[in-house]
Each structure stands twice: as C-alpha cells, then as structure tokens.
Amino acid sequence: MTERPLVWIPRPVHTDALARLRPHADVRPGYGADGATFDEISDRVAAILLRTERVDGAMLRRAPRLRIVARHGVGLDTVDVDTARELGIAVTTTPAANSRSVAEHAMTLLLAVRRGIGIAIRNEGDTRAAIRGRELSGGVLGLVGFGRIAREVAAIASHGFGMRVLAHDPMVPVSVMTDAGVEPADLPTLLSLAENLSLHVPLVEETRDLIGLPELMALPEGAVVVNTSRGGILDESALLDAVRRGHLAGAGLDVTTVEPLPSDHPLRAEPSVVITPHTGAQTEQALRRMATEAADHIIARIT
Ligand code: NAD
C-alpha cells in the first residue's frame, strides 16, 4: 500500500479545512498535544497549509516530497518563492476569500466614525450632545483602488446606502467602473469630491504615503477617511494633523504602520478616530473560505 501524503498545518485553521483534507491525506498539526515540528515531518511532508509563518529556502530544500505551500490569505512575503519555483513546489494564495469581510469592515468603520461610536464608547462628558451624526445616504464615497475589496464596498455603498461612488484606479478599465455604477475619476477630482474616502490599494513603492497632508486637505471639510488596506499608504502624522485642525470629521483605521498601534499613540487619544487591530478579515466566513480554498489547492496538487 502506498503511503498517504502528509499535510502539515503549523497553526490552527478553520476545522472545515481539516475535514476536507482528511479523506485525501494524513493531517499533522504543528500545535497541540500531537503537534510536530517541521524537522520531525520534513522527510514526509507533501503540503503545508500556511498562515503567516515563515517558510525559507532551507526548509524547502529539506523536504524532498513537498509539492505545495498553500497560503491561507494573501501575501507571499513569508515564503521563499524563488526557491519554491526552482524546486517545482507550487505556492498558492486565496486572494478573494476575504474581500467581502474587509469591505463590510470598511463600511463598519465609516459608519462608526459618522455616528460618533468612538465618542459614545468613551462616554466622557455629555456624550449625547457631543454627537452629531451624518447619514451616508446621498453622500459621496471616493475609492482609491478599484480591485476586489473596493468593488464590494462600492456595491454595499451604492445599493445599500444610496451613496454616489467615485473610484480612482488607473489599471482598471473605465467600463468595469461604469458597469458597476461607479464614476471613474483622477485622484485630484476624487479628493475634491470625496466626503468619505476609503483606501484599497496594495502597499508598493508608488502607493507609500499616497495620502499625505496635501491630499487630506484637498478633501471637503468634514470628510472621513477609512483605511483597511495597509499602514504606510496613509501618512499617520498628516492624518493626526488634519483631524486636530478639524478639517476631517474623523477616521477609521484597520491598518497602521505599526501593528498593533501602541496604546500611547496620539491617534488613540482622538475620539473621532476609530481603530481596529487588523481585523478586517477576521470573520467566520472569511476564515472558513481561506482555509477551505487552501485545502482545495492542496488536494488538487497532491492527489
Ligand atoms: P486588488 O489587487 O484586488 O486591488 C488593488 C487595486 O489597487 C488594483 O485594482 C490596482 O490596480 C489598484 N492600484 C494599485 N496601485 C494604485 C494606485 N497607485 N492608484 C490607484 N489604484 C491603484 O486588492 P484587494 O484584494 O482589493 O486588496 C486591497 C488592499 O487591501 C491590499 O492592500 C490588501 O493588502 C488589503 N487587505 C487588507 C485586509 C485587512 O484585513 N484589513 C485583508 C485583505 C486585504
């Protein structure tokens, strides 16, 4: 009888993924009572279902039967992709699995800021008098980047909240935006109109500090900025400045340049800034989709 392939899972993932893998492979966790280290299974391992752990070239070379490293989520910065390619080991991601969750989180942050939830939770002074909310309905939402997450945000904002949605993304055909009921705009036009601004671009050289003080001051007075993309795209000291000047009504941040943002960071002292610790994709559905899609990539490769 041929030996069943072995799948190593260094950190816990949604249990549905384990159930999906078990008919096809032996599943060995890297945690818990029967947990195995990589060194213990390296000569047998056929697949790794990876969250954010590091898999370097030396590990890949020590695993002669390894066929695939399946990432749970996106981003390949923890895997030595060049060595994997050289050795014929597939490396996969699950880029669309959490888009809806992150989009809903962006809307959550926007609503939280617009309705003064951060101020209400602090409960200092006459909170009721301090809060003057603003409906999203009829407002303008500007999206920087129009990829997977931004498209979900656009659908929720226009269909669910009756917002006018503009987007700036030089890599996306205009027809994709207009078909989605979104108005294409260059960045200066978008900034001049966006009462609500939401960022959905990757962090690369061209997008680092894309939104600094001039861009924030170009927004209409009383605008709200939401960032669920990556810290580093929005200049945090400029944001603090624009909030303190009263130019912005507030901001919602799921991502920051340092994560988690230290408790003494000045942005945390601003009641109109709502900060979550990179939890945009932390939903039951996204965690399940990321894990089961990664399991499917493994099954396709090892059977
Ligand atoms: P995507 O690749 O589908 O879309 C990104 C879009 O940005 C692309 O359409 C691209 O053309 C556009 N873009 C790139 N540079 C641009 C620029 N200079 N100006 C305008 N547009 C530009 O990515 P996605 O899945 O929508 O993810 C967007 C961001 O969300 C990424 O930064 C990702 O890391 C982040 N993200 C965050 C979480 C979270 O938990 N908060 C989870 C998943 C993804």
* Backbone φ and ψ of 188, nearest 5°: -60, -40
Domain boundaries, the chain: 6-97+284-302, 99-275
- pLDDT, one tens digit for every residue, the chain (303 residues): 578 999 999 999 999 999 999 999 999 999 998 899 999 999 999 999 999 899 999 999 999 999 999 999 888 888 999 999 999 999 999 999 999 999 999 999 999 999 999 999 999 999 999 999 999 999 999 999 999 999 999 999 999 999 999 999 999 999 999 999 999 999 999 999 999 999 999 999 999 999 999 999 999 999 999 999 999 999 999 999 999 999 999 999 999 999 999 999 999 999 999 999 999 999 999 999 999 999 999 999 999
Tokens of 42: 């390296």
DSSP state of 158: I
Q: Is 281 in the pocket of ligand 1 (CB under 6 A)?
A: yes
CA pair distance 54, 83, nearest whole angstrom? 13
CA pair distance 73, 91, nearest whole angstrom? 12
pTM: 0.92
User: For this structure, is 278 an active site residue?
Assistant: yes
Q: Is 172 in the pocket of ligand 1 (CB under 6 A)?
A: yes
Q: Is 147 in the pocket of ligand 1 (CB under 6 A)?
A: yes
* Cα 277 to averaged position of ligand 1 atoms, centre (Å): 18
* Cα 200 to averaged position of ligand 1 atoms, centre (Å): 4
Between strands 26-29 and 45-50, the pairing is unpaired
The CATH number corresponding to 99-275 among 3.40.50.300, 3.30.565.10, 3.90.45.10, 3.40.50.720 equals 3.40.50.720
The three-point CA angle 287-114-163 to 5° equals 80
pLDDT of residue 242: 98
Q: Is 148 in the pocket of ligand 1 (CB under 6 A)?
A: yes
CA pair distance 255, 281, nearest whole angstrom? 12
Distances (CA, A) of 59 to 135, 142, 185: 53, 44, 47
Residue 99 buriedness (CB in 10 A; 0-12 / 13-18 / 19+): buried
pLDDT of residue 75: 81
The CATH number corresponding to 6-97+284-302 among 3.30.70.100, 1.10.287.470, 3.50.50.60, 3.40.50.720 equals 3.40.50.720
